[in-house]
């Protein structure tokens, strides 16, 4: 009984407060925070105006995947931190300073993925894909995260898509992956330059590293600060340095192709021969080493044509990672992959003013005048849609002028207009937007009539 009473009292109080205009007296005071939350530094919204680029690239990706027999995989964006420290390498910039890592409430150390190859390999092992017919060909697309210093055009969340071929060591696959990646850029209208190198296997690379370190030691005094450190931590990355004084030293450095073992040399020669067969031009680039630890043998990048001097402008990169599956606890299995930077590709498309198709065109705009007409147009719209006609509308607008303006912007062929007069007569107007003429149709036959006209175009 007292419960009910309390309820009633509360209601009365609320009513009083409402009258007095002071609801705060009863409820928790509503804190007004006028400041709108902002984007986190290094992140951005991909607005509708940008979406056509993503759609365009996504469509090309899907069609390439089908042409070359790849199946899609969607690993999660969150993984155990150890996956990346083991796969990508502890000493790489990516793992040592660019990962978004944190502890979950359950105490797991996790990271937002900085790249997706490690996840694909983990999934390949986890789901026993080693037992499927090999090679297993997978592709992915989605956001990646790196805590880099935000600079123009680079964000801490960015998009990549990639192709991975697991379970086969044949060099024809290396060549075909390069062909596929190059086809992607050609088909979206970008001219490219393929850069290729081999970084050998664990055996011959060890020998080469010794030679490289010996050479660089003689030049130590002239190296940049970073390279002095690379000399001991990650000597292959010495070849990657963008500092001018280091580039000069690089010119005379020993080249890994001269140190490849017979097996690695054979593999590389065959890859190049296959590329020659399809007459795909490439540039043998001795300083191409890629930033990640897991690569073996073939490595490659595709650069925009004419930007060969600025190697940081790579549109995509990839190579073999024959040891990675074993490194992550699987049976020794050769594999290779490529990943494409989507934002960088878009930037290039914009720079070159390459025209991107807009959304699919609409055929018919449905315009209405007055509430009664609106009530008839809503189901008409549904019927036209179900008949496979590409329709457009703006039902919340009242004025005909405003509606026809939208129709004009959409570039529709015809507009259907339902006003008071047509409503009472059981008709509807069909306006030819190009010719500017209109005719009266029987409302009940409108779908048939519209279809007939669209077919006769
Ligand atoms: Zn080797
Ligand atoms: Zn340097």
pLDDT at 20: 46
Instruction: For residue 183, name the pLDDT band (cuts at 50, 70, 90).
Output: very high
According to CATH, what is the number of the domain 364-455?
Answer: 3.40.50.800
From the CA of 320, how far away is ligand 1's center (Å)?
Answer: 13
The string over 260-295, giving b where at least 16 C-beta atoms fall within 10 Å of a residue's C-beta and e elsewhere, is: beeebbebbebbbebbeeeeeebeebbbbbbbbbbb
Token representation of residue 124: 């390949």
Sheet containing 78-80, strands listed edge to edge, beginning at the edge strand earlier in sequence: 78-80, 109-112, 101-103
From the CA of 211, how far away is ligand 2's center (Å)?
Answer: 18
Structure confidence by residue, pLDDT tens digits, 223-269:
999 899 889 888 888 888 888 889 889 989 999 999 999 999 999 99
Lowest mean pLDDT, pick from 18-27, 218-227, 228-237: 18-27
Closest ligand to the CA of 202: 1
Structure confidence by residue, pLDDT tens digits, 110-122:
999 999 999 999 9
The contacts of residue 300 (CB under 8 Å, 6+ apart) are: 178, 194, 195, 196, 197, 282, 288, 317, 318, 319, 338
From the CA of 279, how far away is ligand 2's center (Å)?
Answer: 35
From the CA of 269, how far away is ligand 1's center (Å)?
Answer: 13
From the CA of 226, how far away is ligand 2's center (Å)?
Answer: 6
Domains of the chain by residue range: 1-29, 48-201+261-351, 364-455
Closest ligand to the CA of 227: 2
Closest ligand to the CA of 296: 1
From the CA of 241, how far away is ligand 2's center (Å)?
Answer: 5
48-201+261-351: which CATH topology?
A: BirA Bifunctional Protein; domain 2 (3.30.930)
Helices within 243-353 (DSSP H only): 244-251, 262-277, 324-327, 342-351
pLDDT at 94: 87
Task: Give the whole-angstrom CA distance, residue 142 versus residue 38.
Answer: 23
Structure confidence by residue, pLDDT tens digits, 280-300:
999 999 989 886 778 899 999
Closest ligand to the CA of 243: 2
Closest ligand to the CA of 223: 2
From the CA of 201, how far away is ligand 1's center (Å)?
Answer: 4
Contact 208, 216 (CB under 8 A): no
């Amino acid at each position: 009984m007292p419960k009910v009473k309390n309820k009633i009292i509360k209601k009365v109080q609320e009513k009083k407060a409402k009258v007095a205009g002071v609801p705060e007296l009863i409820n928790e005071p509503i804190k007004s925070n006028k400041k709108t939350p902002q984007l986190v530094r290094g992140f951005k919204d991909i607005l509708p105006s940008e979406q056509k680029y993503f759609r365009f690239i996504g469509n090309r990706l899907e069609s390439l995947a089908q042409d070359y027999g790849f199946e899609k995989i969607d690993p999660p964006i969150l993984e155990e931190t150890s996956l990346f420290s083991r796969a990508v390498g502890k000493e790489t910039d990516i793992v040592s300073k660019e990962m978004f890592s944190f502890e979950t409430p359950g105490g797991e150390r996790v990271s937002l993925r900085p790249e997706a190859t490690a996840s694909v390999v983990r999934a390949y092992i986890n789901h026993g894909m080693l037992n499927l017919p090999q090679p297993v060909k997978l592709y992915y697309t989605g956001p990646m995260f790196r805590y880099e210093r935000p600079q123009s055009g680079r964000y801490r969340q960015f998009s990549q898509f990639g192709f991975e071929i697991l379970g086969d060591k044949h060099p024809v696959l290396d060549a075909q992956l390069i062909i596929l990646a190059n086809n992607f850029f050609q088909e979206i209208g970008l001219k490219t330059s393929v850069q290729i190198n081999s970084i050998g296997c664990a055996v011959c690379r060890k020998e080469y590293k010794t030679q490289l370190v010996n050479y660089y030691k003689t030049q130590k005094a002239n190296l940049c600060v970073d390279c002095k450190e690379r000399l001991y931590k990650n000597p292959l990355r010495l070849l990657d340095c963008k500092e001018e004084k280091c580039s000069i030293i690089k010119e005379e450095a020993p080249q890994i192709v001269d140190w490849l073992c017979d097996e690695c040399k054979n593999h590389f020669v065959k890859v190049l021969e296959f590329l020659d067969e399809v007459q795909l031009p490439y540039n043998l680039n001795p300083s191409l080493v890629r930033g990640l630890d897991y690569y073996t043998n073939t490595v490659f990048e595709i650069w925009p044509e004419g930007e060969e001097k600025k190697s940081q402008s790579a549109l995509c990169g990839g190579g073999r990672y024959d040891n990675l599956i074993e490194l992550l606890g699987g049976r020794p299995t050769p594999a290779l992959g490529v990943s494409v930077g989507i934002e960088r590709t878009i930037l290039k498309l914009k720079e070159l003013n390459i025209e991107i198709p807009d959304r699919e065109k609409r055929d018919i705009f449905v315009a209405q005048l007055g509430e009664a007409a609106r009530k008839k147009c809503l189901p008409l719209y549904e019927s036209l849609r179900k008949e496979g006609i590409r329709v457009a509308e703006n039902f919340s607008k009242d004025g005909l002028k405003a509606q026809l303006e939208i129709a004009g912007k959409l570039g529709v062929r015809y507009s259907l207009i339902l006003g008071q007069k047509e409503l009472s007569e059981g008709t509807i107007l069909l306006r030819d937007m190009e010719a500017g003429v209109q005719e009266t149709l029987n409302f009940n036959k409108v779908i048939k009539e519209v279809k007939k006209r669209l077919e006769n175009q």
